[in-house]
Structure 1
Amino acid sequence: MVSKVKFLLVFLLSIQGFLAQQKDDLLLIVDGDSIRTSEFLRVYNKNLDLVKDESQKNIDSYLKLFKEYQLKLKEAKRLKLDEDPKYQREFLNYKKQLTKNYLSENKVTDALIKEAYDRNSYDVNASHVLVRLDETVKDTAQAYNKISALRARVLKEGFDKLRSDVHDGTTIFVEDLGYFSAFKMVYDFETAAYNTPVGEISQPFRTQFGYHVVKVNDKRPSRGTVTAAHIMIALDQKDSLLIPEERINEIYKKLNQGENFEALAKQFSDDKSSAKNGGKLSPFKSGQLSSTIFEDEAFGLANDGEVSKPFKTKYGWHIVKRISLEPIKSFDDLKPSLEAKVKRDSRSKLINEAMVDELKGRYNITYNKDAKSYFEKLINDDFFSRSWRLPESFNKDEVLFTINEKDYLYDQFGSHLMAAQRAYANRKLAVTEIVEKEYNAFFEAVILKYREANLELENEEFANILKEYRDGLLLFDLMEKEIWNKASKDTLGLESFYEQNKLKYKWNRRLDFTMASSADENIAKKALKLFKRGKSQGEIEASLNTKEKQNIIFTSGIYDADDNRLPANLELIEGVSGVHRHNQAFHVVKINNILLPGTKTLKEAKGMVINDYQSQIESNWIQSLYERFTIEVNEEVLQRIKAQINN
């Protein structure tokens, strides 16, 4: 099954592009719908930048793909997949997220990005006390008083004493948070932590979780980005005789004996993605990996080339080697990624507030100056008991304010007040305060909604991206329904396809073997002699290894004959091989059995069979779409496009 996220990502990357400056002639008519050259060239030009296969840059070849894409969209709409509630919800969720990227105020955004960079340059070590409080609760006096009292106790008794007395993990939390930097905590908490001096405790402040005080224990410069290599022995082993902790300690002994880290990683590490590169990992910084234990070990190495002792994570046992350490990147280098984070973070609320102010200046807005006083007269004591209703004489059709000739009426604000009264239950606030607050909240919601509703008309780039996502999402649902699900669920069809094509699905030659490995050729020769005398793995290990020195390590199992663990020049004969030099070490291989090439069963080849079966189904299906829908190509325009591109 294809991942929806992956499908849409590839789709968007291949579609987003610029509008080519060409005469916008009619190029295609697909079952009555016109498609102009601008749409075709926008897609073609972007793909031209992405593909390396010259055949994909051929206009005729690409036009074929484009026509099939249009046919699929036609079929999706014929099947009314665009009316499916699930599809509509997912599209609207994406539109909402995308809209946030276009509803921003640049000055505020830039200031938040710079602040985030400055904070990202330091790690803060902090502890906090939290009195849990739902963010919808308005009467906060009790919680505030409680956090104030707990702050006084922290100052007097310290965090450890307070933790043992009051922490319950439900309503009151007293926790050490360790080190963190920008974007690791909610923005209000992050701000309090960065603004509190080391050794001091903040005044109470509120986040969406409740009331906090934070004590800053330390601030340190960012640890930067480390490039490291590791050897990992997984906890889950297919070699049932291998004990991970024993194996990692054996490897560590060999490192201390002067053997090459990269060679040992290639030979023994279970992290195959890094083992082929001598264990080297992609660079990472604090908080980027899912294991803080691994990060601390890597950053804890003082010098390039230094190697850690074996340590355990939830993934397995590791030895890590520091390759290099780079300080935090410059502001210009990090700005694009920081901007994306700022717009996803709670900081976006500040950006929205600034955007409202900017929209007030952009749009033509007129206000009814009598509106607020009118509503102030309507609100009575019933409002505070959630029983308030709009009177029968309510002027519901009166205009509250107008944005670019679109009127918003008293009736809409009245409904807003009706819904808002539940937040004021048993709270005797001034009516003027209530109307002012709710009027501002209503206006801000309306003007942002207006901007959102009109964004496709105001911003061409937004309109193009939104259309592309809309079509991509629709195409995914269509392919899932017509191709992917059919291929995976059609058991009889899959079996029939396999029987017709099973000669394509073959095993390579495989070996069932036991291999002894040593950095010392003499030790390997001794292992060879013991193998030939019929000694078992355990007997050989007992003979050649000591408590102080790991001279030999065994590997066993069933692997492809060309597996990187095996010497390249190994003669494939059952029995004991000679001594082979491979991966900067010496190996003796006992081949227990040679499994000859053969046809895989359907179960063994199922993934490949399903993929090939999908391709066959799709090919037949696309042919049926050509027969169902009509496509007309304006050949004159097509030839003009070809001439322009070829020139």
Structure 2
Amino acid sequence: MKTTYQCLWVLGLLVACSPNSKVSQSTPLSDEPQYLLTVGNENVSAEEFMHMLSKNREFDQKEDKLSKQEFEENFDLFLNYKLKVKEAEALGMDETVEFQREFNAFKEDLKKPYILETSLQEGEIRKAYSRMQEIVHAQHILLRFPANSGREDSVAVFRMAVKIKERAEAGEVFSKLAEEYSQDPSVKNNQGDLGYFTSLQMVYPFEDAVYQLKPGQVSDPVLTDFGYHVIKLLDRKPNPGQVKVSHILIRTDPTDPLSEDRAKRKITDIYAALQKEDTSWEEVCELFSEDTNTKENGGELPWFGVGAFLKEFEDAAFGLTEIGEISSPVKTSYGYHIIRLEDEKPLAPYEQVEESLKSKILRDSRSGLINSQVIAIQKSRYDFMENGTVIATAKELVTGQSTALKDLREVYTSQNIMDSTLFTVKGESKKVADLVDFVERDEVVVKVGRKNPFDAWFSKFVETTLDQAEEADLMANNDDFRLLVNEYREGILLFNLMNEQVWQKALKDTAGLMEYFEGHRDQYMWEERTEALIVSVLAPEAEKPIKDFLAGTHYQAGLKEALVDHLPSLSTLSYKVEEGVFEVDNNPVLKAMEIQSGLQEVEVNNKRYIALLGKQYPEGPKAFNETRGKVIQDYQEYLNQTLISLLKQNFIIQINEDEKSRVENIVVAQN
């Protein structure tokens, strides 16, 4: 293996300066792991260099390949980049609390696309969207648990639900069974009929059971937080999407027996009036609708889909087929409505609703289900084994403590169980002392709720440990994730080093900045300059009044404002004015003129210019305050190059020329 050695000390430009490229998976670097560089005592793989190059370019294509010069420039940048990272590590920048906090926050975001939880979430999102292609119509009977119920009560409720299911399957009318047994408060009004609905509109166990039924089927008892449900599916059909409607509402008052008749007569009269061609819906709505939130805007309601409004209202709204069509009066619990169809649209594509579906899923019981599935898979994948005896002992010793478990260390130390193993993950033991440390760090939110405090903290400890095992697995076995995390880690270190030793130093080191300026004055020179008011004539009618104003006038500061004020009748779009001191050779208009005081005219690139020149200034040095920004920029680059030179004296670099040539053959265009 051919190698070369260089002495280097860390600093260079970030590899982001390199062309964006993407490594094709069909172009392996070598058959076995090879290092490209050794910086100090750390080997750097060719894979990492290729990752830095790989942004939106596939080297399989000739047009995407680099030139030999580009390759060498990128290699030097990468070398300097790795040196800077090595120096930052030598200075302990990777051990600071600030770095750890920032890096861990980035890492949490970076790993989301790779972890089990994300893949399971995506599965649930896609399942919900798939179910949303249909709407289902169901009835149910709810049996609640008695207050302070125990296991025997739960069994009794379950057995009653089974008997009701058997009676329904035997042919008894489901609505009659609902009226007799259901403890859903709405059963008096709907006989257990829930109308049409779709995914994410019912609690998850209920939805899951409904979507597994065929029309006419009755479910086994379904347990939710409300109790046991017996569900009958009446119908399922394609989702009609969403509609936008307007409505006119005449309210009824349940406490007034006469309001029903009055409202019915009034809505009938309104409906009859709307059948006439010369009747304005908006005027009628404003005059008569009793929905104070919508009457001023024609009764318009937001877009809605199935399951969002009252069943009777929805049935009428989705029964309208033509834009502008008006329904006959519809009775709901609010009163009587007349509905007009304004617009309709199909179910949105998956990409448009993905984020909103994810938000809903993470807020309902699916999130708990996903978390349970993640933990189960992790336990299996990473050989999780519990020590039930030690766990039971640890729990018993702190039963009755506060939710924070403040005295764990004292209690467990007194019982000599701190070194006892609670569980193992991938053969690594997690001891009671590790749990105590976890609780005392108090870095996570633990929702105790009705749980035993020990159970809540222990479950979170297990969950955190398994997440750490999954992350370690990703780092060891997923090259994309490992390279991405390393890129962000080193990027933070590079920024911190450059900020401390280059960027901020250039701003704070006033003496050094002035010394650099004095030593490089020849780089900050004015070329020949002149005072000038330059007017670009954009419309022919502007030329004469501008010339008339400037004729016989000497240049002076503030002349631009005076010119604009003198020409109020001219459109400001008919001319454009610049004023100041300009370097002649850097201004194309002035370059085309004879530089002397007074009024001049010139045409440049088919555009007419009028200029009034004032005092001329010869070439000469700039004052510091005239070029401060440029001096700071140059001083920063000077500090950068100085640092690189020092790094090259302090770190030994070994370059694997064979591996470098191998990479070059992949990414460089061959003549």
- TM-score (ref. length: structure 2): 0.49
State the Cα deviation string for residues 289-340 of structure 1 (Å, max 9, x = none). Answer: xxxxxxxxxxxxxxxxxxxxxxxxxxxxxxxxxxxxxxxxx9698899x69x
Aligned partner of 1:54 among 54, 63, 67: 67
- Which of the pair has the greater relative contact order for Cα pairs under 8 Å at 6+ separation? 2
Segments of 5+ residues of structure 2 without an aligned counterpart are 1-12, 130-241, 248-292, 295-299, 305-347
Mapping of residues 9-408 of structure 1, within 5 Å = 10=16, 20-23=28-31, 24-43=33-52, 54-59=67-72, 61-103=73-115, 104-109=117-122, 219=302, 355-356=374-375, 358-360=377-379, 362-367=381-386, 383=402, 390=411, 392-393=414-415, 399-408=421-430
**Over residues 525-564 of structure 1, what are the superposed CA-to-partner deviations in whole Å (9 max), with x where a residue is unaligned?**
1332233265987887677535x97796673532646899
Task: Give the whole-Å Cα distance in 2 for the aligned partners of 1:576 and 1:114.
Answer: 77
Q: Residue 474 in 1 paired to residue 493 in 2?
A: yes
State the match for 1:576 in structure 2: 599
Residue 625 in structure 1 maps to residue 647 in structure 2: yes
Corresponding position: 1:447 with 2:466: yes
- State the SS of the aligned residue for 1:102: coil
Distance 1:414 1:632, change over 3 A: closer
Aligned counterparts of 2:69 and 2:466: Cα–Cα separation in 1: 45
Matched, 1:495 2:514: yes
Question: 1: distance between equivalents of 2:616 and 2:454?
Answer: 84
Indicate yes or no: 2:635 matched with 1:613.
yes
Distance 1:385 1:643 in 2: 61
Cα–Cα, structure 1 residues 573 and 32, in superposed 2: closer, same or farther, change >3 Å? same
SS at match of 1:603: helix
The residue matched to 2:613 in structure 1 has which SS? strand
Equivalent position of 1:555 in the other structure? 577
Secondary structure of 2:541's counterpart equals helix
Q: Taking every aligned residue pair, what percent have the same amino acid on both sides?
A: 23
1:457 alignment counterpart: 476
Residues 110-129 of structure 1 deviation map (CA, whole Å, 9 limit, x = unaligned): 6659999xxxxxxxxxxxxx
Looking at structure 2, the residues matched to 444 and 403 of structure 1 have their Cα atoms a distance apart, in angstroms, of 11
In 1, distance between residues paired with 2:80 and 2:562? Answer: 66
Residue of 625, 630, 635 corresponding to 1:603: 625
Q: CA deviation at 1:218?
A: 6.1
Q: Are 2:560 and 2:578, in contact at CA under 8 Å, matched by a contact in 1? A: no
**Cα distance change, pair 93–509 in 1 and its aligned pair in 2 (3 A):** farther
What SS does structure 2 have at the residue aligned with 1:364? coil
Which of 545, 562, 578 pairs up with 2:568? 545
Separation (CA, whole Å) in 1 of partners of 2:657 and 2:485 = 30
Alpha-carbon distance in 1 for matches of 2:567, 2:55: 62
Is contact 2:14–2:81 with CA below 8 Å preserved after alignment?
no
Cα 1:587–1:80 change in 2 (3 A) is same
Helix, strand or coil for the counterpart of 2:626? Answer: coil
Give the counterpart letter for 1:106 in structure 2: S
Q: Are the counterparts in 2 of residues 512 and 556 from structure 1 also a CA contact under 8 Å?
A: no
1:463/1:387 Cα in 2 relative to 1: closer, same or farther (>3 Å)? Answer: closer
Residues in 2 aligned to 1:71 and 1:94: alpha-carbon distance in whole angstroms: 23
Please give the alpha-carbon distance, in whole angstroms, between the structure 2 residues aligned to 1:196 and 1:483: 60
State the alpha-carbon separation in 1 of the partners of residues 512 and 437 from structure 2.
58
Q: What per-residue deviation string (whole Å, max 9, x for no partner) do you get for residues 501-545 of structure 1? A: 323223456554446677652343133223326598788767753
What code does the residue aligned with 1:466 have?
V
What SS does the corresponding residue of 2:624 show, helix, strand or coil?
Answer: coil
* 1:532 paired residue among 544, 551, 556: 551
**In 1: Cα distance, 2:359 partner to 2:589 partner:** 50
CA distance in 2, matches of 1:75, 1:415: 32
* CA–CA separation in structure 2 for the residues paired with 1:33 and 1:436: 44
Q: In the alignment, is the contact (CA less than 8 A) between 2:24 and 2:58 conserved in 1?
A: no
Contact 2:84 2:494 in 1 (8 A): yes
Give the AA of the match of 1:576. L
Classify the secondary structure of the residue corresponding to 1:105: helix
Cα deviations across residues 4-38 of structure 1 (Å, max 9, x unaligned)?
xxx87938997996784314345544445444544
C-alpha distance 220-442 of structure 1, shift in aligned 2 (>3 A): same
**Residue of structure 2 equivalent to 1:506:** 525
Rounded to whole Å, the distance in 1 between the matches of 2:244 and 2:378 is: 38
Distance 1:510 1:220 in 2: 65
Q: Residues 576, 21 of structure 1: CA spacing in aligned structure 2 closer, same or farther, 3 A cutoff?
A: same
Where does residue 151 of structure 1 map in the other structure?
A: none
Equivalent-residue separation in structure 1 for 2:620 and 2:597 (angstroms): 18
**For residue 575 of structure 1, what is the amino acid of its counterpart?**
G
1:337-382 alpha-carbon deviations (Å, 9 max, x no partner): x69x989x99997876764454355443344567887677556655
Identify unmatched segments of 5+ residues in structure 1. Answer: 1-6, 117-194, 201-214, 222-329
Q: Distance in 1 between matches of 2:473 and 2:622?
A: 57
1:9–1:516 Cα change, 3 Å? same
CA-based RMSD of the aligned residues comes to 5.7
Q: Distance in 2 between matches of 1:492 and 1:387?
A: 55
Whether the 8 Å contact between 2:592 and 2:604 is mirrored in structure 1 is: no
* Superposition deviation, residue 53 in structure 1: 7.2
Q: Is the 8 A contact 2:245 2:303 kept in 1?
A: no
Within 2, Cα distance between the matches of 1:539 and 1:482?
A: 49
Q: Is the 8 A contact 2:18 2:74 kept in 1?
A: no
Q: CA deviation at 1:453?
A: 4.4
> Separation in 2 of the partners of 1:49 and 1:508?
47
**1:572–1:82 Cα change, 3 Å:** same
The whole-number CA distance in structure 1 between the counterparts of 2:631 and 2:42 is 37
Alpha-carbon contact 2:401-2:453 (below 8 Å) kept: no
CA contact (8 A) 1:26 1:35 kept: yes
Quick one: distance in 1 between partners of 2:128 and 2:617? 62
- Provide the C-alpha distance between the structure 2 equivalents of 1:353 and 1:199, rounded to a whole number of angstroms: 45
Q: Are the structure 2 counterparts of residues 107 and 29 from structure 1 closer, same or farther at C-alpha, using a change threshold of 3 Å? A: closer
CA distance in structure 2 between the partners assigned to 1:600 and 1:9 by the alignment = 34
Judging changes above 3 Å, is the alpha-carbon distance between structure 1 residues 424 and 95 closer, same or farther for their aligned structure 2 residues? closer
Distance 1:573 1:461, change over 3 A: same
The one-letter amino acid of 2:87's match is E
Aligned partners of 2:41 and 2:394: how far apart in 1? 53
Whether the 8 Å contact between 1:12 and 1:469 is mirrored in structure 2 is no
- In the alignment, the residues of structure 1 paired with residue 101 and residue 587 of structure 2 have an alpha-carbon distance, to the nearest angstrom, of 48
Distance verdict in 2 for CA 1:359–1:573, change over 3 Å:
farther
Matched positions, count: 432
CA contact (8 A) 2:526 2:622 kept: yes
Task: Give me the TM-score of the superposition, normalised by structure 1.
Answer: 0.50
Alpha-carbon distance change, 592 to 15 in structure 1, aligned in 2, over 3 angstroms:
same
Q: CA deviation at 1:47?
A: 10
Partner residue in 2 for 1:164: none
Conserved? CA contact 1:12–1:472, under 8 Å: no
Whether the 8 Å CA contact 2:592–2:602 is kept in 1: the answer is: no
Provide the C-alpha distance between the structure 1 equivalents of 2:82 and 2:23, rounded to a whole number of angstroms.
Answer: 18
